[in-house]
A and B are shown apart, each in its own frame.
Chain A
Amino acid sequence: MEFGVQVTTYSPYARVARFTWLPAGALFIAFFVVPLIVLMLQGITMSDITRVFGGAIRSDVWWFTTWQALASTAATLAVAMPATWVIARHDFRGRRAFVALLTLPFLLPTVVVGVAFLTILPSSLHYTALAVVVAHAYFNVAVFVRVVGPVWAGVPQALLHAAQTLGATPNIAFRTVTVPLIRRALLSALGITFLFCFTSYGVVRILGGPQLATVETEIYLRAVGLGDIGMAVALSILQMVVLIAVAIAFTRLAGSRRYSFGNSTPAPKPSGRVGVIAAMYAALFALPLVVVFFRSFNVNGTTSWSGWRQVFTGEFGAAVLQSLEYAVVAAAITIVIGFGVAHTVVQRNVRLLESTTAATLTISSVTLGLALIVTFDTPPFDLRSSWLITPIAHALVALPIVIRTITPVVASIPVGLSHAAATLGASPLRSWLGVQWPLARPAVLAASAMSFAVSIGEFGATSFLTRRSSETMPVAIDRLLGRPGDLNQLGAYAMASILIVVCIAAVVLLDDRRTGDMQ
């Protein structure tokens, strides 16, 4: 029981909220901050730095990484804008399902997106830059839908009408009114997409083949394939510098000016043209997923369930079980510590905590994996052989998403409810169990599903941390696709299908979360 210092409003959870962030803080420092410091201080020598700049790395690696990221960002913009327009400016039956379908690829493991495009693209396009760019566009449309969509939806229709009564055609009104008002969100989406494409790993590994290498795949090749840890670390650090510079540039470019509007006018009824565009996108976005499932039991026109049999009973079952085990542990870790952080953020109003934990998003998962193996490879901290290191890495990757899912819902629970419970004689614990927990439960469920989906599909850090005996589904898919034989292919597609189903469940639960939102 506590009365705050600045305000005297009773809050039954304020005292305990002082400490609930500590587990997250400990995990963050031990497995993120320390490994990054170790990576920077110990794993690199001057000769590694001179080798990076001295031409030891193929010059086309940096060039390809940059231009494919630029091309992928431009392609994503072109594909995403019509879909975002449909979602932001129209209300139609099935709109929520449409948004969920366009969001789904972003949650899909990058390996699965790679596999899907390997299936639908003609073989002449396999292992080409075009295949990588197309897959990146498919993957990142969700960024525009989720970042630009809500801002675009908020631009009042009446403002565009005003422009039209002043002589602006619909195109001019879009260019002179809509674009400036959504500019900030647009630049954010462009920046996020560029960074994701620049650090793309799974898609490039699957669709780029051995010919095309990005900085990320080069880091993996150096560290795991060639055992050249020094060079891998030097590349990671250089890449981090580039990423931070790009992030700062986009933030500066976007500026801080936000526009707020009152109640927006109701969305216009969709025309036939809108219906056609929506149907086209739905078909295009569902196609790769359907084809992956089809290929899991069909090889060269023949139906065979041997891939699925192997998944449930045979050789591949170990990877499925291993992935499930890691995902359950990672979800448990993130939920417990994420809920603790959410409580501190809401009860103590410590917003800094939220942004600090989001720092894991700025580091590529390949760099995280590398930092963990570099740090925890010597006694007494030799955790490389410990099974716990993989779910911990997954938890770090999922933590910012989990915190952002739970915090708004915890914040939206009216404080008056705990006051009412207290006046009815409920202790803080009783009030938490009877009021807070039931109301936050849908968000916790959604966050668990998100964390589960992130863990089960994580590929970058996992490819460093697992061994042949403990490989996860994405790692197994990558390995099986590189091997000949129908059974290997069928098994890879069957596992990709399982990952798709998990992600669909996560998206459905995420969408359902709103029922728990008090606001």
Chain B
Amino acid sequence: MKLELINVGVDYNHQAFLRGINLRVEHRSRISLVGPSGSGKSTLLRVIAGIERPAIGKVLIDEIDVTTTPPHLRRVGMVFQDNQLFPHLSVGDNVGYSLRITRRADRTEVIREMLDLVGLSGYERRDVNALSGGEQKRIAVARALAANPSILLLDEPLTGLDEALHDRLLTDLIALFERRGTTVVHVTHDVAEAKRLSSRVIDIAELVS
């Protein structure tokens, strides 16, 4: 799926926050946006996901204008910085959340497949609140991928993990996206992480006019 932002501007507290953002992400490609905290990286992801509505400009997915389309109709998955796993659901129910909504008959198989994919086979019945930080991150990725999104957004996905876990998870994610051919927009303040994950790294300051 191809993603395009055309002259997007976002207001914050009735004041212009981001202006003139133009971005094009090709099908099956991975790009990383880098920049310091507060530079608007996460806001841009929220605009793409449909959680924030831009004050001006357009968001196109496969040439279709989705600027005013609500998040649940966009097929854009997102891994949140703090995971946002549902605390009242088990690991399996978290991963299968989107499948339950669409009443998919093959839910159990897809959950198993996704857990295999992130290296957490057999975790279906576990309590998400009892998982380690790295395991929670993997579940967040598995949950987003289970919905079969056309584009996957990663909001600082590896922030807060220790160095060894950060490296291992990054390697796993790269392998996973390679295998599935996922279109990814990744934001981080870690330039090294961005360079490893994506073929294109853009400083958000260069996007803002």
Contact = CB atoms under 8 A, between A and B. Distances in A.
Q: Do A and B come from one complex?
A: yes
Given A161-B51, A161-B71, A166 B97 contact: yes
Interface residues of A, number: 21
Interface string A365-409: 000000000000000000000000000000000000000000000
A123 to B, nearest CB: 49
Interface of A is mostly: helix
Contact of B88 (A156, A164, A167, A180): A180
B136 interface: no
Contacts of B74: 165
A163 B88 CA distance: 13
Interface in A262-298: 262
Contact of A164 (B70, B87, B102, B144): B70
B9 interface: no
Interface stretch (A16-24, A168-176, A307-315, A444-452): A168-176
Classify chain B: how many residues form its interface, as a range.
20 to 34
A165 B86 contact: no
Contacts of A257: 88
A181 B72 contact: no
Interface stretch (B18-26, B31-39, B75-83, B116-124): B75-83
Contacts of B80: 158, 161-162
Contacts of B46: 161
A159 interface: yes
B101 A159 contact: no
B147 interface: yes
A158 B83 CA distance: 9
Given A158-B82, A172-B101, A166 B147 contact: yes
A262 B46 CA distance: 20
A165 B88 contact: no
A4 B56 CA distance: 65
Interface string B43-73: 0001001110000000000000000001110
A164 B144 CA distance: 11
Contacts of B143: 166
B137 to A, nearest CB: 14
B144 A166 contact: yes
A168 B51 CA distance: 13
B98 interface: yes
Contact of A163 (B76, B97, B102): B97
A142 to B, nearest CB: 27
Nearest to A158: B84
A177 interface: yes
A169 B50 CA distance: 12
A165 B71 contact: yes
B102 A167 contact: yes
Interface of B: 46, 49-51, 70-72, 74-78, 80, 82, 84, 86-89, 97-98, 100-102, 143-144, 147, 149
27 contacts: A156-B84, A158-B84, A161-B51, A161-B71, A161-B78, A161-B80, A162-B80, A163-B97, A164-B50, A165-B49, A165-B76, A165-B147, A165-B149, A166-B97, A166-B143, A166-B144, A166-B147, A167-B72, A167-B75, A167-B98, A167-B101, A168-B72, A169-B72, A170-B70, A180-B88, A180-B89, A262-B82
